[in-house]
Amino acid sequence: VGTRSFVISIDPMSGECGPAQFMSGLAAFVSSSSCPEGLRFILHGKSQELESLVSAYPSLQDRVDIEHAPGVVAMDDKPSYALRYHRDSSMWKAINSVRDGYADAVVSCGNTGSLMAMSLIQLRRVTGADRPAIAGVFPRYKKSGMTIVLDLGADVKADERNLTQYALMGVEYARLLGDNIPKVAMLNVGVEQNKGPAAVREASAVLSKIASDPDAGFEYIEFVEGKDLLSGVADVIVTDGFSGNIALKAVEGCALYFSNMLRDALSYKFMGVPIVERGVMMMFPKLRYVFKRSDPRRANGGVLLGLNGIVVKGHGDSDDVGVSSVLGVAANAVKNDLSGRISLRLASLTEGEYM
Amino acid sequence: VGTRSFVISIDPMSGECGPAQFMSGLAAFVSSSSCPEGLRFILHGKSQELESLVSAYPSLQDRVDIEHAPGVVAMDDKPSYALRYHRDSSMWKAINSVRDGYADAVVSCGNTGSLMAMSLIQLRRVTGADRPAIAGVFPRYKKSGMTIVLDLGADVKADERNLTQYALMGVEYARLLGDNIPKVAMLNVGVEQNKGPAAVREASAVLSKIASDPDAGFEYIEFVEGKDLLSGVADVIVTDGFSGNIALKAVEGCALYFSNMLRDALSYKFMGVPIVERGVMMMFPKLRYVFKRSDPRRANGGVLLGLNGIVVKGHGDSDDVGVSSVLGVAANAVKNDLSGRISLRLASLTEGEYM
């Protein structure tokens, strides 16, 4: 990184979000307090389209460079297809900027499988990480802050070695977010030691051993169940990508379910007078907070951990809040050298002969 | 079953629920409209304790028989331990009543692993079911009724054969609940055909084939994601027991999360006057409905499918609403011969040479 200021490489073309929406979100981010001073952006995609979009936001003019990339990875492209036929795409080129040292992080809302495959090939895994993982953050009610959950779907299965490495990568991500001694747990079907698949029980035994070192820098609290994804008993929750992805989307579905029911309930008549939602919101300001906390866009920004470089993936259907949140995650990870910290942490796993 | 009236065999001793709470829930059920006329109960457990509890509810006097069983399966007993040392337990004896033809269904709030192990040994699998599964119901916002999800944790893994059988067992359960042509889906990490583990993709291919028969009695809508557990796009959602259990508990955790935040938000001051929750509830009666729908106790009553007999498992921490809901599920399954229907359905899988 050296003395130059930080640069985020952006793929605004991929995903249902679309470049116009992405640019609007980028402008919102640049004018927010989460945007570090001097941060610059490289936009990859159809240059004419991008230039005309950027020209609508004066705040972006001297912060962005545009690099032409004619291709776009579609949401339903298989990763193998994208790898073979989309080397001219905004996604590939955006990752390329990080590989060649022109940027410190990539942000894309494109299809996760292709983003992961292209990042793996270009950035490669950090030493000690057998597999990268997607980490996301969940809100919680018993404690302030967020709970980091991984893997959210980089791979559909994970053995005990993968799970252990996910846990250690999650520890570094948690420390980045301000948890100095994060509490780490494995997601399981019960809290008793004899429960769950062998890989989960074995990873749990290794993590207990590592955490017993007073300098481990995290506490291992063994198993938690699905309900604890939102409770706050753990700061990092580890699972395989299949269960993690299903749990993530179940929680998003739940947020939708409750928002729908709540809006329906609140658009009720009070003493014969219809009360619109906005009116109720004014009466009960804290209800705004419920909607805000239940907003899946705010828990946006999956980070691909375990690569030589920061790769952040947004929701396919992001809006201003979503795009801005994803960019904030990328900026924070770059500023604190998340990749370097993970690399050091995983080296300690091998040196300690824990596995 | 013959001409005698239906009988439910109850294990009120196991689980954190406790026999006093169970009896109170049983009395609530007996006086509700969900209780079929003439339905009788056999209570298994410490007879003195049970007699004294029953004597407090006149409505139970001529509906129950008490069978003495001195042992109790603890919530943290391993299934193998329970099988070896708890043949004198209320759980074992309750299942025994069904095996010996004295009862038509078992209800227990005890530990799921032991309940499954004891049921498997005594009742055995129905022909065609390689593995039993635990099915539960989820509320939904796009459609009335409930979505059946299985397996919720009978086993931590499932191959394509197990998943296919789970789907067919789920179809019969859905038809019991009133869905004549239920929509069936597989839970996956994406809706594209190339996504997910091999077992999921292979089971999906078999189910497509079966559902293409105009007499199949269900529609197969391929893959859904975690968010659809609560949306209502499918009536039956199939997954392995590890992911299913995590998803179930994630949704329960979500309900807790939102109830907590909502209660907090509503105990707010209105024009300087503190408004207690009860007051707000009176103002917005439909809010009651939100709490009611978000109440995990109402989605109670996991059913063990694939056994020669009905086995219904309640939450460990059930209250009156929970116990009553579990008993309602058992009564309904008995009345409609769920086990017989599942047996017929699975036979068609083998006869059709689909697998």
Preferred mutation among A16, A142, A242, A248 to probe B, highest tally of B CBs within 10 A: A242
Q: Considering only CB atoms, which chain B residues are within 8 Å of A141?
A: 256-257, 260-261
Question: Considering CB atoms only, which of B139, B226, B255 is closest to A248?
Answer: B226
Chain A: closest CA distance from residue B188 (Å): 7
- Residue A296 DSSP label: G
Question: Considering CB atoms only, which of B192, B226, B265 is closest to A253?
Answer: B226
Across the interface, whether the CB atoms of A245 and B156 are under 8 A apart is answered: no
Any A CB within 8 A of B261 CB = yes
Any idea of the CA torsion for A55, A56, A58, A60, to the nearest 10 degrees? -70
Residue bearing tokens 């109402």 = B298
Any B CB within 8 A of A291 CB = no
* pLDDT value of position A254: 84
Any idea of the CA torsion for B153, B158, B160, B164, to the nearest 10 degrees? -20
Distance of CA A292 to CAs A248, A287, A295, B141, B245, Å?
18, 9, 5, 20, 28
* pLDDT value of position A16: 77
Across the interface, whether the CB atoms of A265 and B286 are under 8 A apart is answered: yes
Any B CB within 8 A of A261 CB = yes
The token pair that represents B190 in the structure block: 């994406």
Mapping DSSP to helix (H, G, I), strand (E, B) and coil, where does residue A89 land? strand
CB B232 within 8 A of CB B140: yes
Residues facing residue A110 across a β-bridge: none
Distance of CA B114 to CAs A103, B96, B180, B299, Å?
56, 14, 33, 22
The token pair that represents B4 in the structure block: 């005698």
Q: CA of A241: which chain B residue's CA is closest?
A: B189
- Rounded Cα distance between B64 and B43, Å, is 7
Model-level pTM? 0.87
* pLDDT value of position A295: 54
pLDDT in tens, chain B (355 residues): 444 689 999 999 998 788 999 999 999 999 999 899 899 999 999 999 999 999 999 999 999 999 999 999 998 888 899 999 999 999 999 999 999 999 999 999 888 889 999 999 999 999 889 999 999 888 887 788 889 999 998 888 899 999 999 999 999 999 988 889 999 999 999 877 778 999 999 999 999 999 999 999 999 999 999 999 999 999 999 999 999 999 999 988 888 887 777 766 666 555 555 554 555 555 555 555 555 555 555 555 689 999 999 999 987 667 888 899 889 989 999 999 999 999 999 988 877 777 7
* pLDDT value of position B301: 63
Across the interface, whether the CB atoms of A247 and B246 are under 8 A apart is answered: yes
User: Where is pLDDT greater, at A179 or B203?
Assistant: B203
Average pLDDT score, chain A: 87
Chain B: closest CA distance from residue A55 (Å): 36
Q: What are phi and psi of B263, to 5 degrees?
A: -60, -40
Across the interface, whether the CB atoms of A243 and B242 are under 8 A apart is answered: yes
Any B CB within 8 A of A262 CB = yes
Query: How many CB pairs below 8 A link A and B?
Result: 168
Residue bearing tokens 């002969």 = A353
Q: Considering only CB atoms, which chain B residues are within 8 Å of A293?
A: 261
The angle that helices A241-266 and B241-266 make with each other, rounded to 10 degrees, is 30
Nearest alpha-carbon partner for A187 in A250, A112, A255: A250
- Rounded Cα distance between A97 and A107, Å, is 11
Nearest alpha-carbon partner for A104 in A6, A192, A3, A20: A6
Chain A: closest CA distance from residue B319 (Å): 19
Residue bearing tokens 């975690």 = B226
Chain B: closest CA distance from residue A103 (Å): 31
Across the interface, whether the CB atoms of B257 and A230 are under 8 A apart is answered: yes
Q: CA of A76: which chain B residue's CA is closest?
A: B192
Any A CB within 8 A of B287 CB = yes
* pLDDT value of position B1: 43
Across the interface, whether the CB atoms of A294 and B248 are under 8 A apart is answered: no
Q: Considering only CB atoms, which chain A residues are within 8 Å of B286?
A: 264-266, 268
How much is the ipTM here? 0.84
- Residue A307 DSSP label: B
pLDDT, tens digit, for every residue of A42-92?
999 999 999 999 999 999 999 999 999 999 999 888 889 999 999 999 999
Q: Considering only CB atoms, which chain B residues are within 8 Å of A223?
A: none
The token pair that represents B270 in the structure block: 């209105």
Greatest alpha-carbon pair distance for chain B in Å reads: 72
Distance of CA A72 to CAs A9, A46, A121, A301, B125, Å?
16, 9, 18, 21, 52
Across the interface, whether the CB atoms of B250 and A229 are under 8 A apart is answered: yes
A contact residues 214-233, partner B, Cβ 8 Å cutoff? 225-231
Across the interface, whether the CB atoms of A229 and B239 are under 8 A apart is answered: no
Chain B: closest CA distance from residue A335 (Å): 32
Nearest alpha-carbon partner for A8 in A108, A83, A92: A108
The token pair that represents A104 in the structure block: 């410190």
Q: Considering only CB atoms, which chain A residues are within 8 Å of B284?
A: 265-266, 268, 270
